Structure 1
Amino acid sequence: MITRALALGLMIAGTAAAQNKNVVLFDTHGYIPFVAEVAANPVVRKFCWSPNGRYLAARREWTTFNPNTLKPLPVETTIYIYDAQTSRGWNGFQTRDEKITVMNFGWHSNEFAHALVTVGSDTDVPKNRLVVIDGARGTHRTLMETESNITVVRAPNSNGATAWLTDDHRAFVLLDGGTRGQFAMPDRERMWMLFYSADGKRIYLEGVKLDEAKSIDARHYMVDLSAATLTPAPCPEPKDGDLFFDLQDEEELHEREDLQLKLEIGTNVASLTEGATARKSSLWIMRDDGKSPVLLSADVEYASFAPTGTRLAYTSNNALWMVNLIRASAEQLELLIGSAEQTRALSNARQVGMAILMYAADEDDILPPPGPDLQQKLGPYLKTDDLLDGFVYTFGGGDIGKVANPSQTELGYISLGGGRRAVVYADGHASVVNK
């Protein structure tokens, strides 16, 4: 069964799908990149996906002008949230305060994001602020503000996160948008996180302090995220799956092993109007073995798959673009490609038929005779010469006024294979005929 999404995907793919140029093909199925939609603009600096692949968070920066004085207003910075499921977006956080700088942002659960901002001051020490953003509702609130540095890490299963203040040794446990608990870190001169447990319920830490003899005293601790408690505990050896994700250093997701797909940003040369050349980065999606590449965009700065689902996003020309991937079985692709070929053949046959009739109108209603100079005669009436590729002219020429039944008189056809033809008639209409 072909769904409406697949049918619409065919309309978008058009001739390219018929030539397998817009489909990442496997033996049993394929992926059709749906038309890219603008998720956010202008001047998108960076973006990241929510863990469930539904939301995009993008940092936007742009300058507007006072309509009365025409002087530039302070740069507006926003964390824009885009819902890929509904194709709607809204500002989760925004500011025009020149003293506020968004240092970083990310997601610590499926619906809640955060932004780390620095608040400058002319007299006091700049402060760091942790802002929690409700991605589904577009609201935000300040969770903490401190002169200390803030590091945010996300649990592997995305059920929670910890905001760790490195200077004053306080920590918060975040579950979704709420604060589960707050506790003081031990009196250590230096603390750092070792790893998360694979289930995301515990964090193991190490603290170092110099004793009176200036020898190193290292101790290990465990944080129970569900209870928001910290206790001394031996540090076990990390197991498979034990890790933590530092949201201040998120990387682009260029491979999806579950889909057997990967993204590659290559380099191509684009000609400029002045005759010079400029190098731009082109984005390709392909199988993980490098076969069946499909060009997505010719000029891309940053790209990433969604962690789940069949979506990807990229930045191009200061805008954020989102692409849905339509998965189709081999049988569905065969129908899609066959339908695209038929649509293309009917369109080409109809255009050639109109060119023949326009030629006759300029030649006292005399249709052209068949011969090697047909392309030369019809060329001025065709958008492109390749419309005649595969067209077989079957009419013998002569006065069109003497054609008794134009709607039943064949001018020519394009073969579709399997005994099927896209036939154009003397009245200009075209249809598929089984021979």
Structure 2
Amino acid sequence: MPTREVNYDGIVGPTHHYGGLAPGNLASQRHAHQTSNPRDAALEGLAKMKRVHDLGIPQAVLPPHDRPAIHILRSLGFLGDDAAVLAKARREDPTLLAATASASPMWAANAATISPSADTADRRIHITPANLLHAFHRSLEPDTTATLLRKLLPDESHFAHHPPLPPHARYADEGAANHMRLAPAHDQPGLELFVFGRACDDPIERQPRRHPARQSQQASQAIARRHQLAPNRALLLRQNPDAIDAGAFHNDVVAVSHENVLLHHERAFAETALVSERIRDAYRDLTGNAPVRIEILQDELPLAAAVDSYLFNSQLLTRPDGSIVLLAPIECHEGNRVRACIDRIIADAANPIAAVQYANVRQSMHNGGGPACLRLRIVMTEAEYAAAHPHVMFTASLYEQLTTWVEHHYRDHLTADDLADPALLRESRDALDALTRLLHLGNIYPFQQ
């Protein structure tokens, strides 16, 4: 295997529900408290993984976290056996129960920031799990994420694992959803783009007015330092506060990069013209060439329509023949203006995007997560791939096994009241116990100890 980008997708967990827990995430707010379908959600995610695998692109899976997080409820004073804890939480603080039952680890783009070995001073892949301070339900993830990533990428001669940044607003970090990379090819040194929404000393006029900015400039700077990136290999960019107010709570809602291609909305970044020059100049200084920049103008696709469709939360993927395919949400096909933008991109010979495919991940989309939200990209050499845990690598056989596993363990509907059902906790843990055996992960969850 040559140096390739491996997509690690989060498996949707058995407690997938619509809690409306994410301020600034318009889809999450719009679908709050509706009935979810965890089985369909997980099967949609697996089908999307199979689509990527069938394109000839390495694909892997990330297991869900243990939910509901009973230990968090107990730490907050809910006592008794599991059934009593769940019942008390539902009665006294249903929002807290929804948060501790969230299946949000499915959005692996928020799991961590990854720098490939081609970029780092010590020639190792550097990994920083996101601390996800913005929302309580997501702040429960970092410890488990760090444990999983160390299990899946265990060889310290290839993988440098860092702890999450300190749990303080100054270092609020949302992971790869605010991180992009441009490079002539995966095995060549690249320019890493760190996109932040706020700085600690921001004047009021630089801040969003409606929704909070999640990623801090200080967090992005710290990750670039700890990942041992030379100054010419890291560029910090400010997200446009208008984009955040329009519902782009992460940069990957308005921009996506892949190899030497940057696809973004006109209003993705603050001071777009200056940012474009900075990216072009930094990339040219590093590689000798200009990147391929595809900008979608506001007049062609208004920011609100871009956010609703999640066009920029598509995946850009290089097939074995070298052509690039856009894997977009099915919602993009259903919107005439969005589909027209995609058709224009595909027809333009000046960029290497040659085809589009559409993925149905509606259950995830209803909570604000498109195809790109579900995956964490890791550029790996042949030796690094060989050192990774092999049993999470996607195959046709694993797809069949995971499909059977979901159909056996997952419910086909879930409401807020169901979150207090002790049977759901048992079902979820039975599912995770079976999954760890299927993926040869050992006892990675506390309840298995």
TM-score normalised by L of structure 1:
0.28
Structure having the higher Rg: 1
Q: Which has the higher contact order (CA 8 A, sep 6+)?
A: 2
